[in-house]
Structure 1
Amino acid sequence: MSHAQDPTIGDDELATTKTAGYNPGEKKTLDEYTKLDAEDESLARWKASLGLDTASAAVDPNAPKLQLHSISLVSPSAPGGAVSIDLQQPKEQLEALKKNPLNVKEGVDYSVKIVFKVGNEILSGLKYVQVVKRAGVTVDRMEEMIGSYGPRAEPYEKKFASNEAPSGMLARSGTNTVRSRVVDDDGNVFADWTWAFKITKEW
């Protein structure tokens, strides 16, 4: 999932930090992982946490490695508890997101949540990173660990730490352009998209 990006938010600003103590090690196929030493209890628990004890039979070998379903700004005060963007829309509609920003009420606490599906292999050390700019100036940057996930038919959900939306006339003065990315610790980019939000007096 990669679309034409906002040229004002460069790849260097989306570079992630390395996770301390993380060693990607040797890549294995899903089948190789499922056949790893069954006598190792800790390994068995790790495989079960990724769904490898049940999921492999149902995996579509042609499925994309990672498929994003939606991104939401979750807040108790938001209508329905969240404002969301369907990331499975056609490319043209996704491009229009930059011109049709989400409204975020000033001063509220909110959390970013993504819903995604993992396809035909284990994805390790996934991270979500976003850079927010207003009038060409970086006003916020967020980098959060998503974790490691195995293939399964049902989507996963990941909600990140809470943030407070800015308030005041200056905060409401323009549109915030956001470039978001899902990457792993090896630098592989699984999703890269641009969207926008505005700080408003009400949702």
Structure 2
Amino acid sequence: MSTVAAGTLALPTPKDAAFKSSGETEDAKVENGAVRAGSDRVEEDDDGKLRSVDEQDSGLKFSLKEQIEKDKDEGRLKRWKEHLFGRVDVSAIDFGVGKKVPEVKILTLSILSPGRPDVHLPFAASNNPKRSLFTLKEGSQYHTKFSFNVFNSAVSGLKYAYTVWKTGIRVENTKIMIGTFSPRQEPYTHELEEETIPCGLFARGSYFVRTKFVDDEGRCYMDFSYYFEIRKNWQ
């Protein structure tokens, strides 16, 4: 704020006031004329000045360029969500306190090998884990396939974990991330990458496997154990 010395403040004379009033009137005429020339519709605002309707509404509209940029940003956000959560209904995820606990039901767990019948593991409670469920030929290809349902709420970071022992020695311990899934009526199906059965005398024999499905919260949805054999031939 500027400071004015006492006794130096000059008040406008009636002549000055009249001159200023006249100038403002002329400026208003020019301004109003320009508004009329630039728009078919004009309205009087709270200050008594005429403004075009287009000018008043300009703050509520996007230009074509602005709209395109806005759509690009929304597209990036959508791709980022899909990368983070997979194709999941993010609205089904409740991050607040008291959220519903997800329920995951494993429906099938199968071992697939080209040219061979699919092996469906009977992970019912009555299964005898000490009996070998299937045989794999050394050097052959196989992969694991499973299906499952998700209920109540989205499950985050579902993992397929398995540990393999041979003659009491752990030979493999693996965790595979499956993803995040929202609840729905239709089952999900997932297939793991193809693997090759090891070859040689030391690879042959009986193996014990413990399989689990767990999520990021440490909830376990299935804990299943079984035996299988690796042989020189299928029989």
**Shorter-chain TM-score category?**
0.5 to 0.7
Give the equivalent residue in structure 2 for 1:183: 214
1:152 matches 2:190? no
CA contact (8 A) 1:69 1:86 kept: no
Alignment coverage as a number of residue pairs: 150
CA contact (8 A) 2:207 2:228 kept: yes
Aligned to 2:158: 126
User: What's the secondary structure of 1:49's corresponding residue?
Assistant: coil
* Partner of residue 109 from structure 2, selected from 71, 74, 93: 71
Post-superposition offset of 1:187 = 2.1
Report sequence identity in percent. Answer: 30
User: Could you say what secondary structure the match of 1:155 adopts?
Assistant: strand
Q: Distance in 2 between matches of 1:170 and 1:146?
A: 32
Please tell me whether the aligned partners of residues 148 and 189 of structure 2 are also in contact (alpha carbons under 8 angstroms): yes
Aligned equivalents of 1:75 and 1:129: distance in 2?
20
Instruction: Map 1:23-102; keep pairs closer than 5 Å.
Output: 42=77, 49-50=87-88, 65-79=103-117, 82-87=118-123, 89=124, 91-92=125-126, 94=127, 96-102=128-134
Q: Which has the higher contact order (CA 8 A, sep 6+)?
A: 1
Residue of structure 2 in register with 1:140 after alignment: 172
Determine helix, strand or coil for the equivalent of 1:141: strand
Contact 2:164–2:210, Cα closer than 8 Å, also in 1: yes
Paired AA for residue 228 in structure 2: F
Report the CA distance between 1:102 and its aligned residue.
Answer: 1.5
More helix by share: 2
Q: Deviations over 1:130-180 (max 9, x none)?
A: 00001100112222111011111121111112221122333223x211011
**C-alpha distance in 2 between matches for 1:97 and 1:191:** 15
Structure 2 length normalisation: TM-score?
Answer: 0.55
* CA distance in 2: counterparts of 1:111 and 1:100, whole angstroms: 18
> Does the alignment pair 1:113 with 2:145?
yes
The CA deviation at 1:84 is 1.8
Runs of 4+ in structure 1 deviating by more than 3 angstroms, as ranges, are 40-48, 51-54
Higher CA-based Rg:
2
